[in-house]
Amino acid sequence: SRNVSFGFSLSILFIYSLKINPADISVIVGYFVAVIGVGVWAMLRSNRGTVGGYFLAGRTMTWWPVGASLFASNIGSGHFVGLAGTGAASGIAVGGFEWNALFIVLLLGWLFVPVYLTAGVITMPQYLKKRFGGTRISLYLTVISLFLYIFTKISVDMFSGAVFIQQALGWNIYVAVITLLLITALYTITGGLAALMFTDTVQTFVIIAGAFVLTGFSFAKVGGYSALLAKYSAATPSNFSSTEPQRYNISPSCYTPRQDAFNLLRDPTTGDLPWPGVLFGIAIVGGWYWCTDQVIVQRCLAARNLTHVKAGCIMCGYLKLLPMFLMVFPGMISRVLYPDEVGCVVPEVCKRVCGTEVGCSNIAYPKLVVSIMPNGLRGLMLAVMLAALMSSLASIFNSSSTLFTLDIWTRIRPQAAERELLIVGRVWVLIIVCVSICWIPVVQAAQSGQLFDYIQSVSSYLAPPIASVFFLAVFVKRVNEQVVRSGDEHLHRLVFSLRHSKEERVDLDWEQEEKGRRARREAEERRRETSCVGRLCGSSQAHEEAPPPEAPEKLPDIGEEPAWRHVVDANALIMMAAAVFMWGYYA
């Protein structure tokens, strides 16, 4: 989502629409059948009747759904449009956003998830509540996270995805979006996280396969990689003189491709993405996104043990090597092939081409899809966009539902039993689907791209404080909410240095937990007399004998078999070496 901060007025961009023909339609139908089929299969094989089963997939996931889900939840339709568009406009430095994540995701698996696992929490606000005590911090984090999801993540994906659908299918935008969201909500609500992670695996295949195909065609059309290197610096539009010289001039720097277009690390003072920002600034925001955000961490918590978490993180890292080649380079190829449209500079021309005077670099990827791909494969590219959109949105729906259910609802009604929480979780997904639909009028109203700049600013303001709070929480034992209450007895299994400790922990949130347990016990006794209604919702048997929805009583295990640990560590080292090589190559 951070890549889509540039002139995002896709809403009336496409005057070229994808002429849908039977081959395209069959590909799209096949894609939906595959996704829904996998969702149903996952739903049937998983136990969704408990909080742990619904929100954490029963902690049974192996490494490949974890890795694929991390990748698919991250890559949204905004990536396709934003990465390609920025690549067309200013070169490969925007790929640094993706390649920075290669290291951050390893921090997640090695440093942060072990602590979250031994803490026995499901949500990040729960972790902060246990670590610092009190309820304020967790409430702040819950509210901020929900706010950020609705206003930054969902909005970005809705912008890019809804328009693609409208332009590709020519449908009414509300019909298209509601249909898409209902399909997403279907397998999110019924299947929970397990269904999501397995469908994300399908989505990852689709995304990568389709993007590879387009990249192949693009490179073939432009004449190869070296041809791209040679031709990009010459990709200037034919119209570059001002139509009203008295009002404005167009200087050559506006339409000439950058000299450092093929450098990842650019001059700190004159570059558009200075290298200190790319290395350190992106790392901080990346630390928030990958290591402290519920969407990403929840997938790691659903793994069956720490080795699978680490392997999944490595797989996600390898996959994150690809966006540079699958999205950024095709964006640059698009500018080479269509300099007058993608690289337009005269405001009147740009307005004619894509509906906005600021620039048309954001049509880079869609233009390739429309112009280069043969029949049938255009449907595949539409499936790719839908896959990216649906996987991201479904993950956000599920994680926001987790946050709301376990952090806000349990505070409003501490006596809520598991079945009630599961119902609330599902209802919240419906609510947030409606909120997402409400973004459509905003999409149609906001023609200029300034809205996205504000969205990016908001998330950049809020991310570093959250990242630093979590960093301090995990690594610095002395940081506490109340100065008096310091000491190791509160911190066992909540900080990195004590993550293996087996001693009893004096919980800082003991009083609230006890109140909640008492309330649930009383409610359970009262309920025993009345009949139970909610057997329809797929939850477990009538007698609510199941334990209250807390972390499992036995200490969560973050031990690893040493053989696999060495394998995983070696793989991480190899992946980092590959990442360093790519950084060094393109620096």
Partner 1 sequence: MKTTGEREAAMGKLFAAVSCLLLSAAAVAAQGAQAKMQERALPQWLTGIIAVSGFLFLAFVGFLVKKAWCEEPRSREVTVELVGEDEFVNKNIYESSPGTVRVKTVVGETENTYESTLDMVRSKDDMNAYDNLVMDGTEDKVTSM
Residues forming the site for partner 1 (CB under 8 A): 103, 106-107, 110-111, 114, 229, 259-260, 262-263, 265, 267, 275-276, 279-280, 283, 496, 499-503, 557, 559-563, 565, 569, 572-573, 576-577, 579-587
Residue with Cβ nearer partner 1 (94 or 163): 94
Q: Which is nearer to partner 1, 447 or 501 (CB)?
A: 501
Residue written as token pair 């990346």: 286
Tell me how many degrees the CA angle 479-480-484 measures, rounded to the nearest 5.
120
Cβ contact 512:519 at 8 Å: no
Nearest-approach distance from CB 333 to partner 1, in angstroms: 17
- When the beta carbons of 483 and 563 are compared against partner 1, the nearer one is 563
> Hey, what are 434's tokens?
């409606």
Q: What are phi and psi of 432, to 5 degrees?
A: -75, -25
Q: And the tokens for 306?
A: 């720490």
Cα angle value 321/322/327 (rounded, 5°)? 130
| Residue entry with tokens 């599902």 | 426
CB of 559 to partner 1, least distance (A): 5
Kindly tell me which of 20 and 283 has the beta carbon lying closer to partner 1: 283
> To the nearest whole angstrom, how small is the minimum distance from the Cβ of residue 9 to partner 1?
31
How far apart are CB 232 and partner 1 at their closest, in Å? 11
Q: Rounded to the nearest whole angstrom, what is the least distance from the CB of residue 557 to partner 1 in the complex?
A: 7
Which residue's structure tokens are 């390893």?
106
Using an 8 Å Cβ cutoff, are 202 and 36 in contact? no
3-state secondary structure string across 258-322? CCCCCCCCECCCCCCCEHHHHHHHHHHHHHHHHHHCHHHHHHHHCECCHHHHHHHHHHHHHHCCC
State the minimum distance, in angstroms, from the CB of residue 90 to partner 1. 13
Closest approach, Cβ 106 to partner 1, in A, equals 6
Please answer whether residues 492 and 503 qualify as being in contact, where contact means their C-beta atoms are separated by less than 8 angstroms: yes
Give the contacts of 106 (CB within 8 A, at least 6 positions apart). Answer: 313, 314, 317, 572, 575, 576
Q: How far is the CB of 100 from partner 1 (least distance, A)?
A: 9
CA angle 213, 581, 463 (to 5 degrees): 80
Which one, 219 or 586, has the nearer CB to partner 1? 586
In angstroms, give the least distance from the CB of 63 to partner 1.
17
Reference 204, options 415, 35, 51; nearest CA is 35
Q: Which residues contact 222 (CB under 8 A, 6 or more apart)?
A: 228, 231, 333, 336, 337
Decide whether 25 or 107 has the Cβ nearer to partner 1.
107
Of 468, 517, 476, nearest to 495 by C-alpha is: 476
What is the DSSP-derived secondary structure letter of residue 343? T
Of 217 and 255, the one with the shorter C-beta distance to partner 1 is: 255
Distance between CA atoms of residues 418 and 520, nearest Å: 10
- Please report the DSSP string for 91-141 in residue order: -GGGHHHHHHHHHHHHHIIIIIHHHHHHHT-SSHHHHHHHHH-SSHHHHHH
Min CB(70)–partner 1 separation in Å: 17
CB of 562 to partner 1, least distance (A): 5
Q: Which is nearer to partner 1, 269 or 531 (CB)?
A: 269
**C-beta of 92 vs 319, nearer to partner 1:** 92
Rg from Cα positions in the chain: 25
Q: Which is nearer to partner 1, 229 or 438 (CB)?
A: 229
Q: Can you tell me whether residue 61 is helix, strand or coil?
A: strand
**DSSP-assigned letter for residue 58:** G
Q: Rounded CA gap, 339 and 344, in Å?
A: 7
What is the number of alpha carbons within 13 Å of residue 582 lying toward its C-beta? 22
Residue in 294, 304, 402, 292 with CA at minimum distance from that of residue 65: 304
DSSP letter string, 523-582: HHHHHHHSPP-GGGG--S-SS--SPPSSS-SSPPP----HHHHHHHHHHHHHHHHHHHHH
**Shortest Å distance, C-beta 258 to partner 1:** 9
Structure tokens at 363: 């049509």
DSSP label at 162? Answer: H
141/568 with CB nearer partner 1: 568
> From the CB of 342, what's the least distance to partner 1, in Å?
22
Q: How far is the CB of 561 from partner 1 (least distance, A)?
A: 6
